[in-house]
C-alpha cells in the first residue's frame, strides 16, 4: 500500500484523485491492486460519468450525486463500502460486510474470488439512481 507519507506528497503535489488511485493500484503490486483496478474498471463501465475523489487520508471514492462507494485495501481484503448500501437491492447477495449498520453495506473481496461483474455493476447503477432521486427532493 502507498505509505501515508508518499500519498501525502503525491496529494500535496497537486495530483488528481485519478492519479492518486493509479498510484495506489501500482504501489499495491499484488492481487489487491489487480482487484481494485478491476473494480474501478467495472465502476466506470456501469457509470461512465462517475467522479473519482480521494478522501480520508487515502481512500479512493467514486461519486455521482453523492458517494457511491469507497475502495479500501487491507491485508486480506479489498473492500467496497456503499454509502447507502442498506437501501439498495442486492438480489445476488454481494454484500457480505457491514451488514449490521442501518445505512452502509460493504463487499469484501478476498484473494482468488471471482467478481460477479454484472451484479456489481447493477449495484453501482442502483446507487446512482438512489443518490439522484435523493438529490431531486
Report residue 27 as a C-alpha cell: 504501489
Mean pLDDT confidence for 52-57: 90
**Is domain 4-136 annotated with CATH 3.90.1150.200?**
yes
Q: What is the H or E stretch that residue 27 is in? A: helix 17-28
- 1 pLDDT band (50/70/90 cuts)? very low
Contact 113, 97 (CB under 8 A): no
What does the alpha-carbon distance between residue 79 and residue 73 come to, in Å, rounded to a whole number? 6
Band (pLDDT 50/70/90 cuts) for residue 56 is: confident
Residues ≥6 apart with Cβ < 8 Å to 15: 23
Q: What pLDDT, in 10s, does the model give residues 63-79?
A: 999 999 999 999 999 99
Query: Residue 2: what pLDDT?
Result: 39
Residue-wise pLDDT tens digits, 70-121: 999 999 999 999 999 999 999 999 999 999 888 999 999 999 999 999 999 9
Per-domain residue ranges of the chain: 4-136
Amino acid at each position: 500500500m502507498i505509505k501515508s507519507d508518499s500519498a501525502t506528497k503525491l496529494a500535496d503535489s497537486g495530483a488528481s484523485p485519478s492519479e492518486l488511485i493509479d498510484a495506489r493500484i501500482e504501489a499495491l503490486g499484488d492481487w489487491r491492486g489487480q482487484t481494485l483496478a478491476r473494480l474501478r474498471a467495472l465502476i466506470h463501465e456501469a457509470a461512465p460519468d462517475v467522479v473519482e475523489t480521494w478522501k480520508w487520508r487515502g481512500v479512493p471514492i467514486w461519486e455521482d450525486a453523492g458517494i457511491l462507494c469507497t475502495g479500501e485495501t487491507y491485508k486480506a481484503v479489498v473492500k467496497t463500502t456503499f454509502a447507502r448500501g442498506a437501501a439498495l437491492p442486492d438480489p445476488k447477495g454481494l454484500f457480505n460486510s457491514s451488514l449490521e449498520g442501518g445505512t452502509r453495506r460493504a463487499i469484501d473481496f478476498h484473494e482468488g474470488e471471482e467478481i460477479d461483474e454484472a451484479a456489481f455493476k447493477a449495484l453501482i447503477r442502483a446507487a446512482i439512481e438512489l443518490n439522484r432521486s435523493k438529490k431531486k427532493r
